[in-house]
């Protein structure tokens, strides 16, 4: 006979004096209910009958694994529990009772250790280095093993379903039995209806609409190209993916209500957060769009002169100024004229396109962007990003030409530096080895060094002009990308749910001492507010790493290509959408 035994006891059964305990034995004794029966056989028969009255929130495995633990009694003076059981391991004179607060499954309150608010994956497949590093750590046998705790997933599952088992045992005397049965049948009917609806929607696939074969493949390729090039197409694809996946998520929503788990609650939060984001996006977009539509003429008249100056006149004046000894710096005349005439032609041609096709219709363009705001603020921001890219194509073309010449100049300078030091780059071993050059090679290197030295000021001057212009444009795109990330992935519903009912977002469990009798108590611990923004930290790190000032400066000095961040890097795909595709 053991001296003491640890038992998890429901807080609402704290005043029970005696009776037969019903619950689970392993991995730790967890009591779910107390039956006032005449004998243990009668208590077992009541437990068997409760399996046929299982409600929708009760797990079948929890019912089958439960058993009558024995007869308990409580001493009023010492407040000590004793348990008498036919099992010698459970027969105990003194119990160490730890109370726990039973969660309300109908309110989607559970104990969970693996709950994540957003089970997301990057749209581009994630970081392969992290996966490989995790696989290596799993093979490290020298790492200390994690200490096992009695409060594992099974025990928490028993604690979650103890209230439903208690209700099933006392269902015959419950005044809400008919209403519970009605809710069960209604939920089952709606679940079956939505399942049929989702299967019909999944049956209507794009290959059946457009036909399988070359046509569908061509449409898919064109769609992928449009998503890569246009921010508006990317944003439209995001919204369509969210809207089309909603009918298939209704069965999971009913499953989350009828049988909540950490994964189903995560689906629930993701689903309603998408709903709230779409509605808020449309509301804010409609307000901004109405402002743009009502003031389209005023905005067009205000922006017309400024856009014409900064996009057409300013680069023309800057190129002419650079060709006439800027700030007393004497550039190479022939190369400067070649640069000036070539880049002036590009700017003049695209400036003519802007003056003929864009600037006269600027009011209509602003009005159209305002109309797109009725589809959401993200559509207006995406269209502005695309408009900025279209109106600055000539800057991009001039930047690519000047950056190519600058990078080639740096490459030649590096080769000549190795030549004068007596070094040569070994392609096979990817290192620099010592090498003896001939006199002819040194003479040729000296001639090339002279040409590079005299042409460098001209190349650097023109490159600096368009590199700075490209930097300003990239920073403007970074601002648009930041707004899209905020609007597409802001955890609005999760924040409101965390404030309204913190127990519906479990972050594990916590122990506290009851102030009345100093008894230990287990309660649900809510997730911290910081974890709600975990996905923002991930997206913010990607944006910060791509638009970091040191990285941009390194690209500028190295003659690299400054570009905006790929839109797939700032887009998150929920696990529920990924599971639908895998299914």
205-209, 216-220, 510-514 — most confident range: 510-514
Q: How large a percentage of the chain has pLDDT more than 90?
A: 28
Bigger pLDDT: 27 or 126? 27
Residues 338 and 405 in one domain: yes
Domain assignment present for residue 467? The answer is: yes
Residues 484 and 518 in one domain: no
Provide the pairing of β-strand 120-122 with 423-426: unpaired
Domain assignment present for residue 310? The answer is: yes
Give mean pLDDT, residues 382-388.
Answer: 95
Bridge partner residues of 225 (DSSP): none
From residue 491, alpha-carbon distances to 43, 120, 270, 276, 353 in Å are 48, 13, 9, 9, 43
Confidence of residue 26 (pLDDT cuts 50, 70, 90): confident
pLDDT of residue 303: 94
Sign of the C-alpha dihedral computed for residues 23, 29, 30 and 31 taken in this order: positive
Domain assignment present for residue 581? The answer is: no
Q: pLDDT tens, 41-81?
A: 888 787 777 665 555 455 555 656 778 888 877 766 666 67
CA–CA gap between residue 176 and residue 172 (Å, rounded): 10
Residues 434 and 511 in one domain: no
pLDDT of residue 145: 55
Domains: count for the chain? 2
Residues 444 and 517 in one domain: no
Give mean pLDDT, residues 427-437.
Answer: 84
pLDDT of residue 579: 52
Q: How large a percentage of the chain has pLDDT more than 70?
A: 76
Bigger pLDDT: 341 or 193? 341
The answer to whether 194 and 185 have CB atoms below 8 angstroms apart is no
pLDDT of residue 85: 72
Domain assignment present for residue 280? The answer is: no
pLDDT of residue 517: 65
Domain assignment present for residue 84? The answer is: yes
Give mean pLDDT, residues 507-527.
Answer: 78
Q: pLDDT tens, 272-292?
A: 888 899 999 999 999 999 999
pLDDT of residue 3: 57
Confidence of residue 33 (pLDDT cuts 50, 70, 90): confident
Q: Which residues contact 179 (CB under 8 A, 6 or more apart)?
A: none
Residues 343 and 472 in one domain: yes
Show the domain range for 109.
Answer: 1-136+154-175+505-532
Residues 310 and 412 in one domain: yes
**In the structure encoding, which two tokens stand for residue 163, read together?**
């209230």
Residue 473: is its pLDDT beyond 90? yes
The answer to whether 5 and 83 have CB atoms below 8 angstroms apart is yes
Confidence of residue 427 (pLDDT cuts 50, 70, 90): confident
Bridge partner residues of 18 (DSSP): 73
Domain assignment present for residue 379? The answer is: yes
From residue 269, alpha-carbon distances to 43, 160, 406, 439 in Å are 40, 19, 51, 74
């Amino acid at each position: 006979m053991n001296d003491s035994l640890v038992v998890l006891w429901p807080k609402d059964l704290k005043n029970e004096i005696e009776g037969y305990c019903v619950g689970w034995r392993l991995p730790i004794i967890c009591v779910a209910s107390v039956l006032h029966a005449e004998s243990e056989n009668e208590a077992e028969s009541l437990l068997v009958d409760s399996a046929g009255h299982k409600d929708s929130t009760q797990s079948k495995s929890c019912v089958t694994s439960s058993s009558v633990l024995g007869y308990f009694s409580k001493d009023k003076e010492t407040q000590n529990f004793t348990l008498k059981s036919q099992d010698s391991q459970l027969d105990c004179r003194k119990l160490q009772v730890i109370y726990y607060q039973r969660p309300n499954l109908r309110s989607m309150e559970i104990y969970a250790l693996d709950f994540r608010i957003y089970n997301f994956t990057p749209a581009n497949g994630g970081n392969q280095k992290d996966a490989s590093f995790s696989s290596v750590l799993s093979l490290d046998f020298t790492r200390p093993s994690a200490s096992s705790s009695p409060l594992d997933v099974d025990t928490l599952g028993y604690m979650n379903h103890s209230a439903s088992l208690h209700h099933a045992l006392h269902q015959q005397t419950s005044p809400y039995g008919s209403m519970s049965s009605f809710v069960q049948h209604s939920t089952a009917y709606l679940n079956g209806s939505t399942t049929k609806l989702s299967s019909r929607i999944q049956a209507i696939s794009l290959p059946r609409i457009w036909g399988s074969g070359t046509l569908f493949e061509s449409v898919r390729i064109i769609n992928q190209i449009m998503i890569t090039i246009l921010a508006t197409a990317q944003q439209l694809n995001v919204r369509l993916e969210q809207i089309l996946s909603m009918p298939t998520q209704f069965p999971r929503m009913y499953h989350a209500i009828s049988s909540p788990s950490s994964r189903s609650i995560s689906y629930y939060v993701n689903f309603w957060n998408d709903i709230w984001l779409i509605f808020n996006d449309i509301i804010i977009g409609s307000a901004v769009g109405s402002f743009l539509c009502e003031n389209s003429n005023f905005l067009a008249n205000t922006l017309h002169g400024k856009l014409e100056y900064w996009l057409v006149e300013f680069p023309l004046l800057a190129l002419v100024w650079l060709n006439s000894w800027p700030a007393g710096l004497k550039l190479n005349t022939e190369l400067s004229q070649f640069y000036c005439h070539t880049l002036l032609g590009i700017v003049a041609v695209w400036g003519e396109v802007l003056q003929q096709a864009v600037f006269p219709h600027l009011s209509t363009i602003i009005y159209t962007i305002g109309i797109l705001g009725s589809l959401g603020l993200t559509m207006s921001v995406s269209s502005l990003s695309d408009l900025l890219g279209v109106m600055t194509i000539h800057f991009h073309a001039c930047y690519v030409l000047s950056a190519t010449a600058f990078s080639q100049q740096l490459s030649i300078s590096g080769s000549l530096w190795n030549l004068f030091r007596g070094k040569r780059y070994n392609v096979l071993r990817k290192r620099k080895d010592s090498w003896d050059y001939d006199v002819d090679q040194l003479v040729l290197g000296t001639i090339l060094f002279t040409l590079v030295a005299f042409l460098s000021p001209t190349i650097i001057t023109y490159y600096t002009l368009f590199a700075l212009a490209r930097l300003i444009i990239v920073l403007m795109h970074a601002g648009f990308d930041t707004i899209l990330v905020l609007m597409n992935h802001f955890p609005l519903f999760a924040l409101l749910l965390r404030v309204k009912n913190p127990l519906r977002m479990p972050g594990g469990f916590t122990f506290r001492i009851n102030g009345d009798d100093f008894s230990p108590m287990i309660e649900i611990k809510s997730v911290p507010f910081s974890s709600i923004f975990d996905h923002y930290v991930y997206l913010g790190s990607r944006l910060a790493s791509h638009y970091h000032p040191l990285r941009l400066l390194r690209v500028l000095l190295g003659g690299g290509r400054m570009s905006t961040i790929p839109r797939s890097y700032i887009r998150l795909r929920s696990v529920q959408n990924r599971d639908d595709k895998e299914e």
